[in-house]
Every structure is written in structure tokens, then in C-alpha cells.
Amino acid sequence: MIRRARVLTPKGWIEGAEERGVLAFRGIPFAQSTAGEARFRAPRPVRAWSGTLDASFFGRAAPQPGTRSGPLARWSAVPPAGAGEDCLNLNVWTPAADHRRRAVLIWVHGGGFSHGSGSFHLYAGDRLARRGDVVVVTFNYRLGVFGGLDLRGLGGGASADTNFALRDQIAALEWVQSNIESFGGDPDNVTLFGQSAGAMSVGTLMASPRGADLFRRGILQSGAGDNVLSVEQARRIAGLLLEKMNLDAGQGDVVRALRKLNWATLLRAQLELRAEHGLRLGMLAWQPVIDGDLVPGLPRARFEAGEAMKVPLLIGTNRDEWKMFTATDKRRRTLDEGTLRKYLTQTFLGSREPDSTDVSAAIAGARTEEALSLYGTGRDGAACSPSEIWNRIQTDRVFHYPAVELADAHTGRGAPTWFYRFDWKPPLAPNRVGACHALELAFVFGTLRTRWLRPLFGMSSKSVTLSDRMQAAWLSFARTGDPGADGDVAWPAYECGQGRTRVFGGHESTDRTIDPALKEFWKGSPEVRDRVLRGRF
């Protein structure tokens, strides 16, 4: 017999159910629908309701590309309720709604700011809640054009806000502050953790004036503080989107016209724009934009200036991040040396068609040669193939060394910092997949034991033990601010210039030093850092 549980919140009664030893409350609205006139505006507080809200089922996901049909349905982040603009809802897993003030972990999902939901089965919070006696919260935020379109400068733009996705995230955090004690959580002991776009969001909120007092600790998995757009980049993307819909940015109230469109129409234009935004590889069209409000500047620069939250930080990356993007791409997996050089030159130059007569092209060529020298030999001393070089360079450029620089900046200001690297490779296609982007998620949430994930992760004692170790570290960090406090393996804090790193999985030691030559190569790279610090971002 299913045991029901009722909780009284400031907005009304909510009823959930006991599942696998914890109480689960799904689909709780934390803000009103964002449809119609609410589109492109900051989220509005949810209204009180009469009676009891049934929190037995997940709510809608944000509008996004995707499918729920066929064999891929189980991998879709869109729940059975579907997608829609009434998507601002969250889910709570708690050992008991008894006002005991447990540590709270709030998850910010990834998906490139264009896909995902807090309802995705990988993010089920029952195992963490049960194992650690903590409260776990997952939530949705607006995605794609609905979450990141910058309308400043367009007709009617004064009626729109900026950074809708970040504002949704802040609204969810504010809901936790006002409500989580009723679910047995402590609003003064909140850890915000996320992966990929979610980690980038956490880093951005740590550097935002609006982030203060909403959480006490941050965990960044495969994301750092570099993923924001300049005003010029965001404006160009908005112009390209309008072109897809045959709208003139300079004619009439464009924002009003966009609010009248069906959300599916906007989503189609977003998909058409996907391959044409012209951003550097690794940048995302719908990531946050510098707006002088939520995002005053590049987050990492604010960390370096001492303007970010001085709270405990746990940050890290996966050893083979980029293999997630090449595992199914035969062209990238079979690169020849000439094509690799072309890719690298374009990457360092930042344009699709480099001009060999330009000075910047010469600089990009020099950096290409230096990169090939640094990455030509693998960690085992053997020569690397062009595809392996490409994967290693992109992993370090987009994920690993931006995380290192953020860790350096944070610990340099006296804030406690811990660094990790995830090295575990699946028994299924270990070389092609490697320890790729997002592979650590099932280990952190303990969901690798679910039936449909077993073929990928296996059920060996080593993988289960690794999941237990990672969960113990994440839970220890949430409870105490130190990921090694409750573990059986010492985890020394990260120190700027020493790069002490905890390795999960693989065969390397649990305490290693980040390669100083590679760190120096990526430090201050002109493709990001110089433009920012010299005021050209």
C-alpha cells in the first residue's frame, strides 16, 4: 500500500507519496506559466491554491527539440506530461517532512541551454536523499530561445527582461528558501550543483550579485565561468533568429509579435539557426548574456576580482569529455593530419574561413603547431592519432582548463576549493566513448543500477563501489563543506599553483598535479581571456 504524505506550504497543501524509503513530491509549480504576455519576462510568483495539490506526477518540461517515440523514448528528458510554457515546476525527495533541517542539494540540469529537464530519470533524487539523509531538489528552467533570447535593442524590447533561464533558476532557489523547511530541509544549508550548462549556470550565479544568500556551496561538473555571450554576440543571434521568421528587427513592436507566435514556431526557427550562429566551437547560442544586471561581466573575471561568492567550491571534469561529441561522428573519429591542422587553425582563429595573409591567422597557426607538439604524445608515452589529439585538445580547451582557471581564481581569494577528474570508462566501447561528457551523472545520483542503464555501465563491484565513493563525497560536501570529511580516502584541498586533484575511476593516483605546460598553454588564451580583460567582450 502506498503511503501518502501531505505538506503545508505558504501557497497551500501538497500531497506526495513514499517511494523506496523516501517521500517524493513531483511537479510542484514554483512560478506561473511563461506563455503569452509572460513570455520573455522574469518569472512571476505562483498563486496560492485551494484544496490539496497532487504532486504524484512530473510536470511539463520546457519547450525543446526531442522525441518520446521509439527506442529513444527512455532517453528523452521530456516527461509523459510533455512540454509547454507552463514548465516552471520542481521535484523534491526527502527522508521525511518533519522540519529537521537537513542539508539540501539543488540540481541544475545540463543540455546546452536548449535541452533537458529536472525530471530526467538519471536525476532521480531518491538514492541521494535516502543514503545521505538530505533533501534533493530538481527543477526546470526555460531553454533555447525562450530562456536565452536577448531582445534589447529590438522594437518593444523595453517590455522584455534578460537571461530568462537564470531568472528561473533564481526563482527556484527563492522557492527553496521559503518552502524547504516544510519538507525537512535547512534553507541555511543549501548546495547548488549542476553539470555542463547546469555547472555553467552555477558558476554564473556564484558570480552574480543576485546569487548571494540563496545557497552556501557550489558543485560544478564539467562547467566553469566562461560561457556567457557578449552583447554583440547575443544581438547578432537575435537578428539571425528574426531572419528565419521573416521579421524585421527595426519595424514595429517585434517583441509583441514574438509573444503572439505559437511556441512551436519559435522552436522551429531555433532549430534552423542551430548550425548558423557562427560562435566558436564550445560556445552555446542560448547561454547567458552579459546584461549589467544578473551578469555584470565574465563570471571568471569576477572570481579573479574577488567579486564572486566566497563559498566552498567542488569542481572538476571528465577525462575524455569531447568523446561524447565524436563517438557517433565517423568523420571526427577518422581525422587525417591535414584536416586536424585545419580544424585547429579555425578553432584558434575563431572563424570558419581563415585568411592566411592576416596576422591573426599567423598567430593561430603558431598556436596550432604548439598544440600539436604538446598533445602529440599520449599519457602512456605513445604517439596519438589525429582524432585522439582533437579529442584531448577540445576536452582541455572547452572544459578542463577553464575549470582549472576558475579553481585557481577561487582558491586564490582564500575560498576553500576541491578539484576532481572522472576517469572511469564503460565496458561497452571504452576507447570510443571513454570517460566522456555526462558519464559521471549516473555515478553521482546512483542511477547506474537502473535496469536500462546496466548494458552501458555494467554491474561490476568496481562500478558500484565507485558510485558509492562519489555519492559519499558529494554528500559530505553538502553536509560539511568538505568532500573528504566523511570518506576513507584523504582529499586535499586544491591550491593555486599545485593543482591537487582527486581522480575517480581509472588507474591513476588519487592525488595528481595538473600538467604545468598545458596549463600555461591555455592560461590567458587569446580566444577568450584577452578579449575580456582588455574590454573587447
Tell me which residues are annotated as active site.
Answer: 196, 321, 437
Strands 217-221 and 313-318: parallel
C-alpha cell at 316: 572538476
Query: Are 384 and 392 contacting, i.e. CB atoms less than 8 angstroms apart?
Result: yes
Query: Are 136 and 93 contacting, i.e. CB atoms less than 8 angstroms apart?
Result: yes
Count of alpha carbons within 13 angstroms of residue 279, beta-carbon side = 23
Task: Compute the distance between CA of residue 398 and CA of residue 222 in angstroms, rounded to an integer.
Answer: 9
Query: Are 409 and 296 contacting, i.e. CB atoms less than 8 angstroms apart?
Result: no
Query: Are 219 and 445 contacting, i.e. CB atoms less than 8 angstroms apart?
Result: no
Name the helix (H) or strand (E) containing 513. Answer: strand 512-513
Q: Which residues pair with 421 in a beta bridge?
A: 317, 503
Q: Of 81, 75, 90, which Cα lies nearest the Cα of 30?
A: 90
- CA distances to 106, 146, 185 from 311, rounded to whole Å, are 16, 31, 20
Task: Compute the distance between CA of residue 493 and CA of residue 139 in angstroms, rounded to an integer.
Answer: 30
For the CA atoms of 385, 386, 391, 392, the dihedral, rounded to the nearest 10 degrees, stands at: 70
Query: Are 48 and 179 contacting, i.e. CB atoms less than 8 angstroms apart?
Result: no
Task: Compute the distance between CA of residue 324 and CA of residue 510 in angstroms, rounded to an integer.
Answer: 24
Sign of the alpha-carbon torsion through 121, 126, 129, 132: negative
Distance in angstroms between the alpha carbons of the first and the last residue of the chain: 59
CB neighbourhood size of 525 (10 A) = 15
Task: Compute the distance between CA of residue 479 and CA of residue 399 in angstroms, rounded to an integer.
Answer: 27
Q: Is 16 helix (H, G, I), strand (E, B) or coil?
A: strand
| CB neighbour class for 492 (10 Å; exposed up to 12, middle 13-18, buried from 19) | middle
Phi/psi for 35 (5° steps) reads -80, 165
Angle ∠(531,534,537) on CA atoms, nearest 5: 40
Query: Are 229 and 537 contacting, i.e. CB atoms less than 8 angstroms apart?
Result: no
In the DSSP assignment, the letter for residue 121 is G
